[in-house]
């Protein structure tokens, strides 16, 4: 029997898979983030469908949707909003920026400067914005979907560690398989993908609430919690890592593992659920030491080594 979590993923696979072909694992990762109330960083080379995937996801979730294009001259007030003097009322009124949306798409976030990137820190963590010493709450289901080009691309600014840590998952988009790319050509060679009719709302508030309620019933044994803490401790002591997994990252890994368990129909989390979630949660949070860069070791490789070396509870 299909549970609420599995039904949610089926709806997203149908909606998003119709727009972006061959990204089923990516859609599963997005499902994990949505249920666990986490923000998502989509990374990949230009032209792989990151923006189309983000827009389709936002439409499928319903609610208000806003888009911000990351540029070098983008200012924090362009995102959060500003106070404007109203001559008729003879007072300053706050004009809300695109940040006040249910789903905010920040396209090419690492082309914006560090000051602008930092404007998202409070919003992503506390779901509120402080402007001129006044607090403005954001929607309850506020979600940031950011796309990022690989850091070695020209004109990009590395995201600070505090910013990366606020993204629950980083999903890497690679080049499609041959059959999938042929299907893309067949579908979009004569039609602009962004001009296609927008997706319908596939995820209703009730459906999302039921999925999150089902998540609450998935058990995490104390041994599994200790296993995740051991993985985090190992990352902090690894010779090739100068900054390991944070406590926020530990909590994100627990939540992602619980959703993974629910998506397979399980009632409790297993070490395999942790191992399937770790490549989404951990790599972007690990800051490599200079020796690792010289040795050509990547964050993904270190994550897999940590999983191999940490004792699995029986």
Given 199, 228, 246, which residue is the final one in a domain? Answer: 199
Please tell me whether residues 142 and 259 are part of one structural domain: no
Please tell me whether residues 127 and 274 are part of one structural domain: no
**CA dihedral sign, ordered 187, 190, 192, 196:** negative
264 belongs to a structural domain:
yes
Work out how many domains the chain is built from and give that number. 2
Pairing of strands 134-137, 81-86: unpaired
Six-digit token string for 259: 């959703």
Tell me the pLDDT tens digit for each residue of 96-136.
889 998 889 998 888 888 888 888 888 898 899 888 788 88
**Given a cut of 70, is residue 152 above it in pLDDT?**
no
> Which burial class, exposed, middle or buried, applies to 29 when counting CB atoms under 10 A from its CB (0-12, 13-18, 19+)?
buried
Report how far residue 104's alpha carbon sits from residue 209's, in angstroms, rounded to the nearest whole number: 20
> Among 23-37, 92-106, 225-239, where is mean pLDDT lowest?
92-106
pLDDT at 233: 96
Domain coverage including residue 144: 4-199
Tell me the pLDDT tens digit for each residue of 263-313.
999 999 999 999 999 999 999 999 998 888 888 889 999 999 999 999 998
Please tell me whether residues 59 and 118 are part of one structural domain: yes
Question: Which residue bears the tokens 């990151």?
Answer: 50
> Among 73-77, 218-222, 230-234, where is mean pLDDT lowest?
73-77
pLDDT at 194: 67
Predicted TM-score (pTM) of this structure: 0.89
Report how far residue 163's alpha carbon sits from residue 172's, in angstroms, rounded to the nearest whole number: 17
In angstroms, how far is CA 153 from the centroid of its own chain?
21
Confidence band (pLDDT; 50, 70, 90) for 2?
low
Please tell me whether residues 222 and 271 are part of one structural domain: yes
Please tell me whether residues 305 and 170 are part of one structural domain: no
303 belongs to a structural domain:
yes
Confidence band (pLDDT; 50, 70, 90) for 27?
very high
């Amino acid at each position: 029997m299909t549970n609420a979590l599995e039904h949610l993923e089926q709806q997203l696979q149908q909606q998003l898979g119709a727009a972006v072909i061959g990204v089923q694992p990516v859609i599963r990762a997005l499902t994990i983030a949505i249920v666990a109330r986490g923000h998502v960083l989509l990374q990949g080379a230009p032209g792989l469908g990151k923006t189309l995937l983000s827009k389709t996801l936002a439409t499928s979730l319903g609610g208000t949707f806003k888009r911000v294009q990351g540029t070098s001259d983008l200012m924090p007030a362009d995102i959060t909003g500003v106070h404007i003097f109203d001559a008729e009322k003879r007072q300053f009124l706050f004009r809300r920026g695109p940040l006040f949306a249910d789903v905010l798409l920040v396209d090419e976030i690492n082309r914006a400067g560090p000051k602008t990137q930092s404007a998202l820190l409070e919003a992503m963590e506390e779901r509120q914005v402080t402007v001129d010493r006044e607090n403005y709450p954001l929607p309850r289901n506020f979600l940031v979907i950011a796309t990022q080009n690989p850091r070695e691309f020209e004109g990009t600014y590395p995201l600070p560690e505090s910013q990366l840590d606020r993204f629950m998952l980083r999903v890497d988009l690679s080049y499609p398989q041959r059959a999938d790319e042929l299907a893309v050509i067949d579908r979009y060679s004569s039609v602009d993908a962004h001009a296609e009719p927008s997706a319908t709302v596939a995820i209703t508030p009730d459906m999302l609430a039921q999925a999150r309620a089902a998540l609450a019933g998935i058990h995490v044994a104390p041994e599994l919690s200790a296993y995740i803490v051991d993985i985090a401790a190992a990352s902090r002591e690894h010779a090739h890592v100068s900054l390991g997994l944070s406590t926020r990252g530990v909590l994100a890994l627990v939540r992602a593992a619980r959703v993974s368990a629910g998506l397979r129909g399980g009632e409790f989390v297993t070490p395999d659920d942790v191992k399937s979630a770790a490549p989404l949660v951990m790599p972007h949070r690990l800051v490599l030491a200079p020796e690792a860069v010289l040795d050509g070791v990547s964050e993904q490789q270190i994550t897999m080594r940590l999983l191999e070396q940490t004792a699995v509870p029986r």
